[in-house]
Structure 1
Amino acid sequence: MSQSPPVVPRVEGRCDERFAAVREAFEENFRQREELGAAVTLRVGGEVVVDLWGGWADPRHERPWERDTLVNVWSTTKGATALCAHMLADRGALDLDAPVAAYWPEFAAAGKEKVLVRDLLSHRAGLAGLRVPHSVQELYDWDLSCERLAATEPWWEPGSKSGYHALTYGFLVGEVVRRVSGMRPAEFLEREVTVPLGIDFTIGLPEKEAGRTAELVHVPVTSSSEQAALFAQLEPVALAALTNPGTGAREGNSPEWRAAEIPAANGHGTARGVAALYEVFARQGRSGDRRVLSADAAERVRQGQGACRDLVLGLGFAHKTEVALGLWLSGANASYGPNPRAVGHDGFGGSCGLADPEAEVSLGYVMNRMGPHIADDPRKMALVEAVYASL
């Protein structure tokens, strides 16, 4: 007896005829790539040309994904956190070439006195993970997390290579933002960007928004023995970055995670909100009709800091990768399309923000069924390929 083809949930929203391939790829994600619930928004030249959503906000298929459904986007949050630092630099309040200790004196401990602010932004500070055990509950403690990072010794010579700072990034960049502005990134972003521009995105989740937030589902694709074999290949720094503490859908769905401020990993938004934020990097500092960064500051965001085999994520990429000042360059992997100087950031499990200044394109893709990928999830890559096939 033959199996029936998967049922494609009704996809709602709008899509300009020119970008019909993006809608087809979005629907194909449900049909062929086990999408549960998702949304995608594409902006070109300041105009929204694709704004689609579909599927379910929960694994029981009780809540349809709506136009305003929010979801945790994991590391796609890092682009928003980097934006806070670049806004301060644009105003002359923060020097990206200054030692971090100039703003955060305690940070100079354990040989870190020469670590630069740009090293934090580009994952080159050598602080990809803590050396002491750090639980999820301790991750929710901003002061403790920052104190431990300030006291710890780098895993490699800062500035020499990049190694993905999966969770530490938000505290490192975020504490500099706090020391300079008096506000943590969540408050800074809300006051300076998202509320003035009407962008539906927050770092952490206000309790009042819980009712429209999708439930994350992490589908395992490897057995325990296969996972153990994979971890056995990882260097200590990669284990520290990815498992100290380990996080996933269970943590991301908890009230404690949502209430905390983790500027590397617990941004919540719609695809529309992600696309609007990343448009700042795609359109010379503008989002919609508002200027957020100067053109020079927006260009500075994508200054490459040196390609290398990432010390944390190296096993997952076919080529060397390069981090710019807060975002990843598309590079030889074409992670953000064929323009090697396009930039973006993926979130654990699949989400993505993309910015291509040459094409004036920004993309937001959000979903709740988390795949195993930290970057370049097949669903995201299918959408990116469809975008560039349509331009």
Structure 2
Amino acid sequence: MRVCQGNVEPGFEPVAQLFERLFRVAGRGGGSFVLRHRDRVLVDIWGGVADPATGAGWWRDTLALSFSTTKGVAATVIHRLADRGLLGYDDPVAAFWPEFAAGGKDRITVRQLLRHQAGLDRLAPIAPDADALLDHRAAEQRLAAQAPDHRPGSSAYHAITFGWLCAGLARAITGKGMAELVRTELAEPLGVDGLHIGRPDPDSQRVAATIGELRPMPDLLARFVALPFPITLPHRRIAEAMLSPGVNEVFRPPCPPVLDTEMPSANGLFTAESLATLYGALANGGAVNGRRLLTGGTVHDLARPPRSRVPDLALGFPMYWRLGYHQAFVPGVRMPTAFGHYGYAGSGAWADPATGLSAAFVSNRVYPLSNAMGDLALVRLSRLCVRTFRALQRPGALSA
């Protein structure tokens, strides 16, 4: 039986063939992948199993837990507020969120927050157990009261706290939580229904069951914490950014409790189609499908590549942070202007303003931590798509 469903434009058939091979592997689960060029959908494919317990198949509108891919979505909400003049990137966060001035944080700017430079990356002081991990309002309040873990201005990946920081800032300005803002500021203006922080409905049948075991990730990082300083300093910091008692419990498959809270760094439930549409706007001056999400000036500013090549303190290598996004890493093809956000378990999305391309991938299979993403399907599909797009570029071949 054929696994891959959907449509591809002429010339992109090898992408569907690769997807078919990836998802024919036993126990692979399901997923979907979308590639856009401006307002034209070049690849829109899906397949596999959404829930092994019931045998339910994957559909185009299946929602998948997308881990850190959520950060790019949360950051885009902040850009919508900036676009309307409700905040400035170089303004102190405390100018809008007065409680945030506690602990000597009165000078930390919105720009620093979005570039993981707030010095609030450690998770345990903010969420010391499972109950605290699921209480997003209390997490926002603890972050406001917390003193920085290290000197602000140096980037250290805020693996979990980033989303609560964005949510606390947005709530202080609008009075609304991030789940509501993703709906009203992103999904509704774009006309999509696949962007959610947490489960949109407790009885939703669209949410794919998470397959696999998340435990190897924190266990492996815990081993790094025990290794001697200073050789493992980056590993120690990323472990501290991701680990606290209760992490395994709230992310345990197949239906993690984290689905019923707001953790805008890690519990986004997305479709590939909606993510690719969102990043399609970021790739094309702020507009997609005739709908304006951001002004061209705002998109130009947030997409501007940073000059710093300093390694991130947590990850140990340069991340080239934009304002809430990172450089889109697609080994084998050069895309210096592309940016987005990838997530554990392989989900992710990116935009390339130089070409007008955007892409997104979501899946429900969690593999042991053998690389930074746990699954390289997005990288492989993206690389083939970009190479195919370039090969097909000739006058009028892929005009919008």
Once residues 220 and 173 of structure 2 are traced to their aligned partners in structure 1, the CA distance between those partners, rounded to angstroms, is: 45
Please report how far the alpha carbon of residue 229 of structure 1 lies from its aligned counterpart in structure 2 after TM superposition: 3.5
Paired residue secondary structure (2:285): coil
Q: Tell whether 2:311 aligns with 1:309.
A: yes
Equivalent residue number for residue 243 of structure 1: 243
Equivalent residue number for residue 134 of structure 1: 128
Q: Tell whether 2:149 aligns with 1:152.
A: no
Q: Tell whether 2:191 aligns with 1:198.
A: yes
Are the structure 2 counterparts of residues 382 and 258 from structure 1 closer, same or farther at C-alpha, using a change threshold of 3 Å?
A: same
Please report how far the alpha carbon of residue 290 of structure 1 lies from its aligned counterpart in structure 2 after TM superposition: 0.2
Please report how far the alpha carbon of residue 249 of structure 1 lies from its aligned counterpart in structure 2 after TM superposition: 8.1
Once residues 189 and 87 of structure 2 are traced to their aligned partners in structure 1, the CA distance between those partners, rounded to angstroms, is: 22
Once residues 369 and 56 of structure 1 are traced to their aligned partners in structure 2, the CA distance between those partners, rounded to angstroms, is: 10
Please report how far the alpha carbon of residue 243 of structure 1 lies from its aligned counterpart in structure 2 after TM superposition: 0.6
Paired residue secondary structure (2:205): helix
> Which 10-residue stretch deviates more, 372-381 or 107-116?
372-381
> Which 10-residue stretch deviates more, 223-232 or 8-17?
223-232
Once residues 147 and 160 of structure 2 are traced to their aligned partners in structure 1, the CA distance between those partners, rounded to angstroms, is: 17
Once residues 205 and 336 of structure 1 are traced to their aligned partners in structure 2, the CA distance between those partners, rounded to angstroms, is: 36
Once residues 65 and 58 of structure 2 are traced to their aligned partners in structure 1, the CA distance between those partners, rounded to angstroms, is: 14
For residues 212-231 of structure 1, the aligned pairs below 5 Å read: 212-219=206-213, 228-231=222-225
Count of residues in correspondence between the two structures: 377
Please report how far the alpha carbon of residue 224 of structure 1 lies from its aligned counterpart in structure 2 after TM superposition: 9.8
Please report how far the alpha carbon of residue 110 of structure 1 lies from its aligned counterpart in structure 2 after TM superposition: 1.6
Are the structure 2 counterparts of residues 209 and 224 from structure 1 closer, same or farther at C-alpha, using a change threshold of 3 Å?
A: closer
Equivalent residue number for residue 354 of structure 1: 350
Paired residue secondary structure (1:178): helix
1:346-375 deviations in whole A, cap 9, x for unaligned? 111110111111111111100000122443
Please report how far the alpha carbon of residue 300 of structure 1 lies from its aligned counterpart in structure 2 after TM superposition: 1.5
1:9-55 deviations in whole A, cap 9, x for unaligned? 52111111222232122123224696321100111121111111111
Are the structure 2 counterparts of residues 248 and 302 from structure 1 closer, same or farther at C-alpha, using a change threshold of 3 Å?
A: farther
Equivalent residue number for residue 59 of structure 2: 66
Equivalent residue number for residue 5 of structure 2: 12
The one-letter amino acid paired with 2:381 is L
Q: Tell whether 2:109 aligns with 1:109.
A: no
Structure 2 gap ranges (5+): 390-400
Equivalent residue number for residue 365 of structure 1: 361
> Which 10-residue stretch deviates more, 26-35 or 271-280?
26-35
Once residues 224 and 244 of structure 1 are traced to their aligned partners in structure 2, the CA distance between those partners, rounded to angstroms, is: 9
Q: Tell whether 2:234 aligns with 1:232.
A: no
Identical positions, percent: 34
Once residues 361 and 298 of structure 1 are traced to their aligned partners in structure 2, the CA distance between those partners, rounded to angstroms, is: 15
Structure 1 gap ranges (5+): 1-7
Once residues 280 and 293 of structure 1 are traced to their aligned partners in structure 2, the CA distance between those partners, rounded to angstroms, is: 8
Are the structure 2 counterparts of residues 164 and 195 from structure 1 closer, same or farther at C-alpha, using a change threshold of 3 Å?
A: same
Are the structure 2 counterparts of residues 209 and 121 from structure 1 closer, same or farther at C-alpha, using a change threshold of 3 Å?
A: farther
Check the 8 A contact 1:337/1:384 in 2, yes or no: no
Are the structure 2 counterparts of residues 209 and 19 from structure 1 closer, same or farther at C-alpha, using a change threshold of 3 Å?
A: farther
Once residues 118 and 217 of structure 2 are traced to their aligned partners in structure 1, the CA distance between those partners, rounded to angstroms, is: 34
1:122-149 deviations in whole A, cap 9, x for unaligned? 1111111245252232122122101211
Once residues 192 and 362 of structure 1 are traced to their aligned partners in structure 2, the CA distance between those partners, rounded to angstroms, is: 20
TM-score, length-scaled by structure 2: 0.87
Q: Tell whether 2:345 aligns with 1:343.
A: no
Please report how far the alpha carbon of residue 198 of structure 1 lies from its aligned counterpart in structure 2 after TM superposition: 2.3
Coordinate RMSD, CA, aligned: 2.6
Paired residue secondary structure (2:44): strand
Check the 8 A contact 1:70/1:213 in 2, yes or no: yes
Paired residue secondary structure (2:164): helix
Check the 8 A contact 1:74/1:347 in 2, yes or no: yes
Equivalent residue number for residue 297 of structure 2: 296
